[in-house]
Chain A
C-alpha cells in the first residue's frame, strides 16, 4: 500500500495554473523530491518569466525572480556565492529555448553546479499561445494559424539533444508527464539531478514534457492523447547524458 501526502513546499491553496495544466504537476513533483530529501529550508527556486512565474504565489520557500530567460545566469551567481544551497531554475520552453537560449547554453557549457528543470509544452502559455521554438511541425498556435511550417519557422528545437553534446553537463534527461509512470520516472530523475548537484558534480538538466490545455484548445484528457501520439514520438523521453552513471545511485 502506498501513502501519499501533499508536499509541504506547496502552499495550501490551489495553484494559479489552468485546470489540467502539467506545470502544477511538475511543480508538485519537484516539491515532493525536495520534501523527501529534507531540503525544504535549503533550496532556492529561481523563477523566470512565463507561466512558471505563477510559482511565486504557490511555492512555499525561498524564491528568486529572474528576468525573462535569465534564470541560469541568476542561478549561476547565487550558487557560486552560496555553494551549499540546493538551487534549481524552473523554466518554460519560450523562456529557455528562445529568449534565454544564450544563458542556458552558457551555463551548461560552463558546467555550473545547479539544476535546470525545463518544462516543454510547445507553446508560449502566458502570452496567449504563440509559437515557441519547440512547437511541433503542423501544430496550430496563434502565430502559426495553419500549423507550424518548417520552411518559414524551422524545426522544433530538441534541447536535451543539444545540451547533451556539450562536454560539461553531468546529467541530461527527458520525461513525459502524461502518465503516472512518467511522473514517477521524472521524480526519480529530479532526485538524481539534485543529488548530483549536492555532491558538487556539475550541471544537471531535466526536461519535462507537458501540456497546455488552454492554448492547445483541447480538454485536459485530450491533451494526454495528443502528447502520446505527437509530442512523445518527436521528443523521445530518456537519459541523454549521465556522466556519473556508476558513481551516483
Chain B
C-alpha cells in the first residue's frame, strides 16, 4: 500500500522522477499550504520498492505491506 500524506507534500516531484514503474503523476489540486501534490495512477503496478519514500524530503510517503486479511 502506497500512502501519500498530501498535507506534508511540497511538490518537488522527486518521487515522480525516481518511480521505476512511473505510476506517480503531479496533480492539479493544491494542498492547504498551496503546493501541488502527486497522485497514484495505477496502484496495482506498485512494486513497493520504496524509491519514492526514500527520496521524499518531507517523509510524506509511507509504504506498508499489502493487507491479506480478505484473502
Contacts and interface: CB of A to CB of B under 8 A. Distances in A.
To the question of whether A and B form a pair in one complex, the answer is yes
Interface of A: 1-7, 10, 13-15, 17-25, 28, 31, 179-180, 183-184, 213, 220-221, 224
A4 B5 CA distance: 13
Contact of A2 (B50, B58, B60): B50
Contacts of B48: 1-3
A6 B57 contact: no
Interface string B49-71: 11101111111111111100000
Interface residues of B, number: 31
19 contacts: A1-B63, A2-B48, A4-B61, A5-B62, A5-B64, A10-B59, A13-B8, A14-B8, A17-B57, A19-B12, A20-B13, A20-B14, A24-B57, A25-B55, A25-B57, A180-B18, A184-B54, A220-B14, A221-B17
A2 B49 contact: yes
Which of A7, A10, A23, A180 is most buried by chain B, counting CB atoms within 10 A of its CB? A180
A13 B35 CA distance: 14
B50 A220 contact: no
Nearest to A32: B59
Given A22-B57, A24-B57, A183-B54, A3 B64 contact: yes
The 7 A-B residue pairs with the shortest CB-CB distance, nearest first, are A20-B12, A19-B10, A2-B50, A4-B53, A6-B59, A25-B57, A220-B12
Contact of B11 (A19, A23, A179): A19
B13 A221 contact: yes
Contact of A1 (B13, B35, B62, B65): B65
